[in-house]
Structure 1
């Protein structure tokens, strides 16, 4: 079966020439539907660049990226925008919620831009907020919620349109340890329900909670393995 994500010989070069920086250096990897993957690396390792490629926020200098069977490597900005809207749900370190909107309205907002009817987007928003345990906070504004609750609203917003890929960039970076674990449980539950979840992190404790770890160093895949509870090496 075709992997959900397939990256082949992917390079991203900044300042080509004498002072070039190879943010990604001939990266190969595949991610199957339904995986829970952590992409881990220190600052400057290339993990954020790889996230931008996987999220169709940037295009590679060379190589190919196939998402859901489509080669998105050479798409135009408009085409990439369409792919992002349909295929990917983003969760960021900053919650990016609109302060004067309720939790439900924040979740509905991207669905309005997608042209989803009022009844359907209300149903999807309620369903998503229930999925992250916020059915009793739907009418609360961000200032009336904790950091962990705000991040759960952001997760509900990411999953409302039912995209095949959830891409989470340092989603616990602004949270205390208790809220961090709450968010990790939400992400793991999404995975158990059949979602493909890709988590970008620099935190080994977070990476220890996912099924598969891809470690990036100097723009290359340094290691790619199933977590030690399985003891199984992953073969791309």
Structure 2
């Protein structure tokens, strides 16, 4: 079966020349449809740069990135934007919610860019918020929600359009223990429902809940292994 994601000899070099920084230094990676993967590394390891590549937020200096069999490493900004909007749901550590919009309006926002009508996108947004347990908080603005609730709004926004890939960048980094468990349970549920879920993290405890772990150090993959008996499988 053709992998959903295939990365071949990806390099990302900043400041080429004498003071160059090799953020990614020859990455090869395949992720199949329906996998649950944690990409783990310390600050400066290259994991965030790799996330930007996988999420079509940036392009490599060299190498190829195939998504659904198509080489996206050479596409224009507009083409990458279109792929992000249709193929990938993003969850960020900082929530990235719009302060003056309530929960349901925040979830609707990316659906507007997909050209959906008002009634249809409102229905989809409401359903997504109910899935993450926020059916009673739809009219609340971010300032009226706890950190865990804000992150659940962000999850709802990421999954509303049912993208095949959910890419979560340190999704529990700003959360307490209880909220962390809630978010991880939601991500596990998404995986069991057939989504490909990729978590970027520095936290070994988070990585141990996921089926497959890819450890990156100094821009290179040092380990790629399965947690055979984990609940996240």
TM-score (norm 1): 0.95
Question: C-alpha distance in 2, partners of 1:70/1:127?
Answer: 31
Question: C-alpha distance in 1, partners of 2:126/2:192?
Answer: 20
> 2:209 — aligned with what?
209
Secondary structure of residue in 2 paired with 1:149? helix
Question: C-alpha distance in 2, partners of 1:3/1:105?
Answer: 35
> 2:100 — aligned with what?
100
Listed as ranges, the gaps of 5+ residues in structure 1 are: 231-236
> 2:134 — aligned with what?
134
1:6 CA displacement: 0.4
Question: C-alpha distance in 2, partners of 1:69/1:132?
Answer: 32
Query: Counterparts in 2 of 1:1-236, with a 5 A limit?
Result: 1-229=1-229
Secondary structure of residue in 1 paired with 2:48? helix
Secondary structure of residue in 2 paired with 1:28? strand
Question: C-alpha distance in 2, partners of 1:131/1:28?
Answer: 35
> 1:233 — aligned with what?
none
Deviations 1:51-103 (A, max 9, x none): 01001111001110001111001111111111111111110011111222221
User: Structure 1: which 4+ aligned runs deviate by more than 2 Å?
Assistant: none
Question: C-alpha distance in 1, partners of 2:143/2:13?
Answer: 41
The more displaced of 88-97 and 17-26 is: 17-26
Deviations 1:124-183 (A, max 9, x none): 101111111111211222122111011000000011111111110001111111111111
Secondary structure of residue in 1 paired with 2:6? strand
Listed as ranges, the gaps of 5+ residues in structure 2 are: none
Question: C-alpha distance in 2, partners of 1:96/1:73?
Answer: 26
1:228 CA displacement: 4.7
Deviations 1:173-208 (A, max 9, x none): 111111111111111111111111100000001111
TM-score (norm 2): 0.96
Question: C-alpha distance in 1, partners of 2:32/2:120?
Answer: 29
Counting matched residue pairs gives 230
